[in-house]
RNA sequence: GCAAGGAUGGCCCAGCGGUCAGGCAGAAUCCUGAUAAGGUUCCCCACGCAGGUUCGAUUCCUGCUCCUUGCACCA
């Protein structure tokens, strides 16, 4: 706690800087997403949209999605949020494509994590205190309450993410009886198939939690231990010793043998007047480095030859039990052989073997050599009376005592501290102790693992390597599954055993009904301690009492049973839409979890399905990575944890949804950066602006759609950009459909983003703008709005899975009013069908060519100082082949390049007035020569822009009519403008225009004088600042930035714009 | 030790035999009555290292280094 590193900030707060595009989010025009989200979430609930959805899809085919249950220890973290969002996208998409999605969320509620939390709250130190001070029933009740309280909290967090249309009122919860019975059923099925057995094996146990732990519950951490080299005196030889090494001195109490590798070479070495035996490969280094002498090898032998060499156990006097072993077993305290577990890489090549304290020791010492698995420890890791003088000592404290004793006896050679990895309890971080225990196992190794491998090969994994490599490797190494835990908070093992010695009767019950029938008793609760009270006479020997095995089930088995155990929650009380019996369970069509679930849920699901029914549990699996922060894992201790709330508050849940979807790569970690997160908001903002613009346009024009769909519209509407956007839309919908069908949510998000930003916002809406202006052709304008409407309607549908709130907003507050038969919610609509006939690859390709050409013309104009709004005389494109058939795009080129004429040629010789450029193999020329009409228009364009700017400055709205007076002494200016009076009236909402040399209007609302360059061939607006600066500097002249001419300030042409509201 | 995934310009992240990444950040400039936006240019001359295949490799192959994750081991 006190070290300097932890003094850094404790939590990763979102940065306070605001990128330019995010400034002033509380401005009048700002789109404040979080507020809107809360409003829509509320609206969904008040309008019972979810109920409507369920009603609608009742008769549809089932898409069986199963939610991997998060553990109810506390608030969700950002990874859980990510996980739920991805699932939500698929759920929404599948719904829209006509499936009844099983959308039941789940919660994992049993197990050690909650017990540990409760123990902290209740301040208990061990299991005994739980039973004696608290009472098991009270303890269980508080665990239950804790889990349920957390569950409600998490429910709300998930809903806030936009994951609203899930069955939050009825999640599956592993602590409910219906669920627990599902686990019982599974264990009973496994028992019937002969796959349940009791094993007597050394297991890692947590001395604090007093229970056995499975491998996936180990947490390796570095630990400092004392390692020692000691010598064992060889019996029958005067001065000869076996030298061994160990990092766990306390296990010497239970030492039964020494293991040697039969193939390894061993030497007898003379040291300090004694003969030591050890591996040849180790002797030189050990003796020189650790003892400080030069070894003298006096003989060599193989491991094989060492076999049977008996030695004196160093703690024979302290542990009397060892004397018994020495007498009872001729091979006790002798060298035994193991090829597999003995190497010369470390230690001395002779390995101390304590069969009661290690799996390998057990295998070689107990299973192969039939030596006793001596394990004189209790549940709390203390020596039992069999431990002799060490009785009552905690093993990790006993280390020092053992070492002291060895020192005393002179058998200790070297003592050193080593820092090595050691297994710790995943929950309480206590170092684990191997002990031999009776535990219950499911036979998942061997034949069953092979079955799983076969089934796994048929499963569709995304990404592919997750199944083909990662999970495959896991299954290859799969071993029997120890399912018993010596704890309280879990599903009790449904196994009853007979108290009579010799009566091996075992009864496994599959349900409450069955238990009540067999026992003749009412069962209050399937949990401990209530179920422990159920005892009954053994039906086999008729003498003994059948008593439940004390243990509870490994919590991973809980969630592994979800395919059937959740039936009640998923299908409702009447099970009208699903299987009632556990027997008839259906595999999931789709699951999605993080890569930690390879050994977790993916594994337990597969195991439970095969164990109970020899069937696979899932068809499509998506595996994701973890969320990291700036390249590092998020850890509370590092203080770099980003909470979902923080992100939501900053930019809204929909921004978060887009961020974590578009930035992911299947199976890989999502690297969180605040900068990128903020950037994702731009997509949302652009999208929103598209709809706002359309809404304004539609309102202004009183638009009412007439066309049934795009296809029928385009039968009459021959406009190329309408046909182009229709094609792009359908191409995009097609690609999005394919992506989502393949569970590639990132690709879907990218296609959607590109479509919104590039095609709709920067592309179509820009192209269509002029057609929507006041003076445009009515027919064309109507077509444009029709197309725009169809486009936005389709867009609102395809964005619904990822932007459920924004889609709802644009539907509810805008588009639905224009639909013939609008649904109440966009989420009651269907995913659009691709109109393949509207996809025109040629058109799309041609548009790209045009796009490149236009890009080039902009570049050329910039270089030549020709503003885009100034019209040019002619654009010439020259290419041998590319331009064939592109004539139909000439109007767009003309408009977008702002030229009066477009010429397509195969070759062209440019003249003096031509600018030249090149775009993707097409030669581009712009004729920049001006005639009088062009020049007048050029001037007018600048003027018009300034007029619009001043309208805005005068806080006039679009559509507000004004009377305008332009006062200037320049007759030339008045002449130029006179040509465009009608245009001004139409496009700048002016009812009357006066061109004059003297003020005529009285009382104007707004007046400003503009200055223009006096050069009659230039006549561009001069910035007020430029003139001001020149005056300040005492200059008499001002330099025009366009024609570069120096002009006396008094010659500058003043043009005053004066206007007032019409009718006012 | 075994296995998997990754390594791309100041930062993030695509692509995966030849032709263009994209975004952010920085600089300049233009533009703006849907957009508290946008365009254009510049900067960044990118593909972990070493070999090989190939007419050509960031992309395929081999080896190596480093990161991440999982598995095994930790006597």
Is A806 among the domain residues? yes
Give residue-wise pLDDT tens across range A311-341.
999 998 899 999 999 999 999 999 998 887 8
Best CA proximity match to A874, nearest among A941, A935, A938, A926: A926
Within 525-584 of chain A, which residues have Cβ less than 7 Å from strand B?
none
pLDDT of residue A20: 35
Instruction: Strand B: list positions under 7 Å from protein Cβ.
Output: 3-6, 11-15, 23-25, 29-41, 68-75
Residues A95 and A227 in one domain: no
Nearest to A118 by CA among A104, A129, A108, A107: A129
The verdict on A460 and A607 lying in the same domain is yes
Residues A272 and A357 in one domain: yes
Identify whether A435 is part of a domain. Answer: no
- Within this chain, do residues A140 and A175 fall inside the same structural domain, yes or no? yes
Q: Which nucleotide is nearest to A746 (CA to C1')?
A: B14
User: What was the ipTM of the complex prediction?
Assistant: 0.92
Cα(A525)–Cα(A531) distance, integer angstroms:
6
Of all nucleotides, the one whose C1′ comes closest to residue A31's CA is B36
User: Distance, angstroms, CA A474 to C1' B71?
Assistant: 7
Q: What are the angstrom distances between the C-alpha of A827 and each of A48, A262, A659?
A: 12, 71, 22
Q: Please state whether strand B lies within 7 Å of residue A24 at its CB atom.
A: yes
> Residue A78 is part of a domain; what is its CATH number?
3.40.50.620
Residue A520 lies in a domain: no
Task: Using the 3D structure, point to which of A804, A835, A866 is the last residue of a domain.
Answer: A835
Six token digits for residue A789? 């409407």
- Determine the Cα–Cα distance for residues A1057 and A968; give it in Å rounded to an integer: 9
Are A824 and A849 within one domain?
A: no
On whether residue A488 sits in a domain, the answer given is yes
Q: Is the CB of A347 under 7 A from strand B?
A: yes
CA-CA distance, A954 to A509, in Å (whole number)? 83
Give the span between the Cα atoms of A1026 and A516, in whole angstroms.
96
Q: Does residue A966 form part of some domain?
A: yes
End residue of a domain, out of A591, A624, A657 = A624
* Token representation of residue A763: 């592309």
What is the reported pLDDT for A4?
Answer: 30
Q: Which of residues 813-852 of A touch strand B (CB under 7 A)?
A: none
% chain A with pLDDT above 70? 97
Please tell me whether residues A288 and A402 are part of one structural domain: yes
CA distances from A657 to A8, A475, A1004 (A): 30, 34, 51
Are A359 and A246 contained in the same domain? Answer: yes
Å between CA of A865 and C1' of B28: 15
Parent domain of A906: 844-929
Query: Is residue A512 situated within a structural domain?
Result: no
User: Is there contact between A3 and strand B, defined as CB under 7 Å from any strand atom?
Assistant: no
The Cα A100–Cα A103 span in angstroms is 9
- Angstrom distance, A655 CA to B44 C1': 29
Note whether A883 and A800 are same-domain residues.
Answer: no
- Count how many residues are written for chain A: 1064
Residues A820 and A691 both lie in one domain: yes
A412 touches strand B (CB under 7 A): no
Is A110 found in the same domain as A188? yes
Measured CA to CA in angstroms, residue A835 lies from A63, A739, A830 at distances of 25, 17, 15
Cα A421 from Cα A419, distance rounded (Å): 7
Asked if residue A895 and residue A754 are part of one domain, the reply reads no
Rounded Cα distance between A782 and A788, Å, is 10
CATH of the domain at A906: 3.30.2320
Q: Which residue is nearest to nucleotide B38 (CA to C1')?
A: A762
Indicate if A673 and A796 belong to the same structural domain. yes
For strand B, is any atom closer than 7 Å to the CB of A690? Answer: yes
Do the strands A914-919 and A922-927 form a parallel or antiparallel pair, or are they unpaired?
Answer: antiparallel
Please answer whether residues A691 and A757 qualify as being in contact, where contact means their C-beta atoms are separated by less than 8 angstroms: no
Whether A636 sits with its Cβ under 7 A from any strand B atom: the answer reads: no
Distance A705 CA to B57 C1' (A): 55
Domain boundary among A929, A963, A986: A929
What is the C-alpha separation between A965 and A534, in angstroms, rounded? 99
Q: What is the pLDDT of residues A454-465, one digit of tens each?
A: 999 999 999 888
Contact between the CB of A1008 and strand B at under 7 Å: no
The pLDDT value recorded for residue A43 is: 96
Q: In the numeric block, which tokens belong to residue A224?
A: 């400092």
Pairing between β-strand A506-508 and β-strand A495-498 as defined by DSSP bridges? antiparallel
Answer yes or no: are the C-beta atoms of A68 and A158 closer than 8 Å: no
The parts of chain A modelled with pLDDT lower than 50 are 1-11, 16-28
Residue A1037 has which token pair?
């002249």
Q: Confirm whether any atom of chain B, the nucleic acid strand, is less than 7 Å from CB of A599.
A: yes
Q: Residue A641 sits in a domain of what CATH number?
A: 1.10.730.10
In a domain, A284, yes or no: yes
Q: State the CB neighbour count (10 A cutoff) for residue A803.
A: 27
Residue A968 lies in a domain: yes
Nearest DNA or RNA nucleotide to A689 (CA to C1'): B35
- Domain count for chain A, please give it: 5
């Amino acid at each position: 706690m006190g070290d300097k590193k932890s003094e850094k900030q404790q939590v990763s707060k979102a940065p306070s800087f605001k990128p330019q595009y995010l400034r002033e989010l509380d401005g009048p025009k700002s789109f404040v997403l979080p507020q809107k989200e809360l409003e829509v979430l509320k609206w969904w609930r008040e309008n019972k949209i979810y109920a409507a959805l369920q009603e609608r899809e009742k008769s549809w085919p089932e898409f069986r999605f199963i939610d991997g249950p998060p553990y109810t220890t506390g608030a969700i973290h950002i990874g859980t949020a990510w996980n739920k969002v991805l699932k939500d996208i698929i759920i929404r998409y599948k719904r829209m494509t006509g499936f009844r999605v099983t959308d039941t969320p789940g919660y994992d509620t049993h197990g050690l994590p909650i017990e540990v939390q409760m123990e902290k709250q209740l301040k208990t130190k061990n299991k005994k205190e739980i039973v004696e001070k608290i009472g098991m029933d009270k303890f269980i009740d508080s665990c239950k309450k804790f889990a349920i309280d957390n569950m409600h909290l998490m429910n709300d967090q998930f809903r806030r993410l936009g994951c609203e249309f899930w069955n939050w009122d009825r999640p599956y919860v592993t602590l409910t009886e219906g669920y627990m019975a599902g686990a019982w059923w599974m264990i009973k099925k496994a028992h019937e198939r002969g796959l349940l057995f009791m094993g007597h094996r050394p297991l890692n146990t947590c001395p604090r939690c007093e229970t056995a732990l499975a491998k996936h519950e180990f947490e390796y951490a570095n630990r400092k231990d004392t390692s020692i080299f000691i010598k064992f005196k060889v019996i029958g030889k005067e001065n000869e010793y076996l030298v061994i090494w160990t990092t766990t001195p306390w296990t010497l109490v239970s030492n039964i043998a020494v293991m040697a590798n039969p193939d390894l070479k061993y030497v007898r070495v003379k040291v300090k007047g004694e003969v030591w035996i050890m591996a040849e490969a180790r002797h030189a280094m050990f003796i020189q480095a650790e003892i400080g002498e030069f070894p003298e090898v006096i003989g060599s032998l193989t491991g094989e030859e060492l076999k049977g060499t008996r030695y004196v156990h160093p703690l024979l006097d302290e542990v009397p039990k060892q004397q018994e072993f020495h007498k009872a077993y001729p091979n006790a305290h002798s060298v035994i052989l193991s090829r597999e577990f003995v190497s010369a890489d470390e230690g001395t090549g002779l390995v101390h073997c304590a069969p009661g304290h290690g799996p390998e020791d057990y295998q070689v010492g107990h299973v192969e050599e039939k030596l006793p698995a001596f394990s004189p420890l209790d549940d709390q890791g203390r020596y039992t009376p069999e431990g002799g003088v060490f009785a009552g000592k905690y093993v990790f404290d006993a280390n020092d005592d053992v070492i002291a004793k060895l020192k005393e006896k002179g058998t200790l050679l070297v003592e050193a501290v080593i820092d090595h990895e050691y297994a710790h309890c995943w929950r309480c971080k206590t170092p684990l102790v191997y002990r031999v225990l009776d535990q219950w196992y499911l036979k998942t190794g061997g034949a069953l693992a092979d079955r799983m491998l076969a089934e796994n090969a048929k499963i569709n994994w995304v990404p592919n390597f997750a199944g083909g490599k990662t999970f495959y490797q896991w299954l290859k190494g799969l071993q029997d599954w120890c399912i018993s835990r010596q704890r309280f908070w879990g599903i009790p093992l449904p196994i009853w055993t007979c108290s009579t010695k010799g009566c091996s009767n075992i009864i496994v019950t599959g349900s409450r009904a069955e238990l009540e029938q067999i026992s003749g008793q009412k069962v209050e609760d399937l949990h401990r301690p209530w179920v422990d009270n159920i005892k009954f006479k053994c039906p086999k020997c008729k003498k003994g009492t059948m008593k439940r095995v004390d243990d509870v089930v490994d919590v991973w088995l809980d969630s592994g049973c979800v395919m059937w155990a959740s039936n009640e929650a998923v299908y409702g009380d009447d099970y009208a839409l699903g299987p009632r019996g556990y027997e008839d369970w259906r595999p999931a069509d789709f699951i999605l979890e993080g890569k930690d679930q390879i050994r977790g849920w993916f594994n337990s699901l597969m195991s439970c399905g095969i164990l109970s029914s020899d069937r696979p549990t899932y068809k499509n699996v998506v595996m994701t990575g973890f969320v990291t922060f700036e390249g590092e894992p998020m850890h509370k201790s590092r203080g770099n944890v980003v909470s979902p709330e923080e992100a939501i508050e900053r930019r809204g849940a929909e921004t978060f949804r887009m961020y974590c979807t578009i930035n992911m790569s299947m199976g890989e970690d999502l690297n969180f950066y605040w900068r990128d997160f903020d950037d994702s908001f731009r997509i949302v903002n652009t999208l929103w602006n598209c709809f706002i613009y359309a809404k304004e346009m539609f309102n202004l024009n009183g638009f009412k759609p007439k066309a049934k769909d795009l296809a029928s519209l385009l039968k009459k509407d021959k406009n190329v950009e309408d046909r182009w956007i229709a094609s792009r839309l359908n191409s995009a919908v097609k690609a999005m459909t394919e992506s989502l069908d393949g569970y590639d949510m990132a690709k879907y998000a990218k296609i959607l983003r590109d479509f919104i930003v590039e095609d709709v916002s920067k592309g179509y809406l820009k192209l269509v703008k002029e057609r929507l202006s006041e003076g445009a052709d009515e027919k064309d304008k109507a077509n444009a709005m029709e197309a725009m409407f169809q486009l936005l309607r389709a867009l609102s549908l395809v964005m619904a899975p990822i932007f459920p709130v924004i889609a709802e907003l644009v539907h509810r507050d805008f588009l639905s009013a224009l639909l013939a038969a609008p649904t109440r919610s966009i989420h009651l609509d269907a995913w659009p069908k691709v109109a393949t006939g509207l996809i025109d690859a040629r058109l799309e390709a041609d548009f790209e060519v045009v796009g490149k050409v236009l890009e080039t013309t902009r570049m050329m104009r910039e270089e030549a100082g020709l503003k885009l709004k100034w019209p040019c005389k002619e654009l010439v494109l020259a290419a041998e082949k590319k331009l064939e058939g592109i004539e139909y795009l000439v109007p767009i080129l003309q408009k977008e390049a702002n030229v009066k004429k477009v010429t397509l040629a195969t070759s062209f010789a440019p003249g003096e007035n031509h600018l030249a450029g090149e775009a993707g193999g097409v030669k581009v020329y712009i004729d920049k020569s001006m005639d009088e009409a062009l020049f007048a228009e050029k001037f007018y364009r600048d003027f018009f822009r300034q007029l619009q700017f001043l309208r805005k400055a005068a806080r006039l709205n679009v559509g507000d009519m004004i009377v305008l007076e332009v006062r200037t002494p320049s007759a030339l200016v008045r002449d130029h403008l006179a040509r465009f009076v009608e245009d001004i009236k139409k496009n700048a909402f002016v009812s009357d225009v006066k061109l004059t040399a003297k003020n005529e209007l009285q009382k104007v609302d707004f007046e400003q004088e503009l200055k223009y360059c006096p050069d009659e061939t230039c006549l561009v607006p001069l910035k007020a600042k430029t003139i001001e600066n020149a005056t300040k500097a005492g200059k008499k002249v001002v330099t025009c930035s366009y024609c570069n001419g120096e002009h006396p300030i008094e010659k500058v042409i003043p043009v005053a714009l004066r206007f007032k509201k019409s009718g006012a």
